[in-house]
Structures are given as C-alpha cells and as structure tokens.
C-alpha cells in the first residue's frame, strides 16, 4: 500500500536536545512538507521541498532544519534553538506540478519537551 509514514508517533525530549522526526513516502511524490499544529490552531508550514537536494523555508522555519537526500525521505530536526517545540508535527507529500493535486498526510508525531 502506498502512503506516508512518520515515526515515532510520540516523542519526549529534554530541553536543550536536538531531535529528528522521520517522514517516508512511497507515493513517488516530488513535493514534501512539514507542518506544525498547536492545540486548537491551524497548520503552519515549517519547510517544504519540491525536489531532491532542494528545500525552502516556510512561515516558521526558525529552530528547525531539514534535508532531502532521497525522494522518499524528508526528515525534520527540531533543534535546541526552537523555543517552544511541544506540538503535533505533520508531514505531507504531493504530486508536484499540478495545481489541482491534493496533499496526503502522514499520521503525525506528537513531540513533548519535558
């Protein structure tokens, strides 16, 4: 079955630690995205990538970093510079080049900073 996987589902981190969230897709999609969602809030774009080895900052990129070494993978690192990292993180992918194609989401990772 094609889809997007994210791991882990729940993640706990101590303050001052970096942590990496995994996102893998086997949909052969070119574009991948990372969003953050806080309780009762909408989705905010952190980073997105349209092709391998290229990515762009979204609206709230500070304190985060990404890489896109493979088409299937788009890991997100939450660094110690992110002041309030506790949130629900969602990864998505989309078939690039068509304005009518929707985004598909992974199940998300809940990050809690202790």
Partner 1 sequence: RKEVEQDPGPFNVPEGATVAFNCTYSNSASQSFFWYRQDCRKEPKLLMSVYSSGNEDGRFTAQLNRASQYISLLIRDSKLSDSATYLCVVNPFGTSYDKVIFGPGTSLSVIP
* Number of Cβ atoms within 10 Å of the Cβ of 100: 5
71 binds partner 1 (CB under 8 A): no
CA nearest 109: which of 34, 54, 46? 34
42 binds partner 1 (CB under 8 A): yes
Of 17-25, 64-72, 77-85, 106-114, which segment contacts partner 1 by CB under 8 A? 106-114
Residues 20-39 interacting with partner 1 (rule: CB under 8 A)? 31, 35
**CA distance readout (Å), 38 to 54, 58, 101:** 27, 16, 26
Residues 76-105 interacting with partner 1 (rule: CB under 8 A)? 88, 90, 94, 96-100, 102-105
To partner 1, the closest distance from the beta carbon of 109 in angstroms equals 11
CA nearest 34: which of 78, 2, 82? 78
């Amino acid at each position: 079955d094609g889809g997007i996987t994210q791991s882990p589902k729940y993640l706990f981190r101590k303050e001052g630690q970096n942590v990496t969230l995994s996102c893998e897709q086997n949909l052969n999609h070119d574009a991948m995205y990372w969003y953050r969602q806080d309780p009762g809030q909408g989705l905010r774009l952190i980073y997105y990538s349209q092709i391998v080895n290229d990515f762009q900052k979204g609206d709230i990129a500070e304190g985060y970093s990404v890489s896109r070494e493979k088409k299937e993978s788009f890991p997100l690192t939450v660094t110690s510079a992110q002041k309030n990292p506790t949130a629900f993180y969602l990864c998505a992918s989309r078939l690039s080049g068509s304005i009518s194609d929707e985004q598909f989401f992974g199940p998300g990772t809940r990050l809690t900073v202790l």
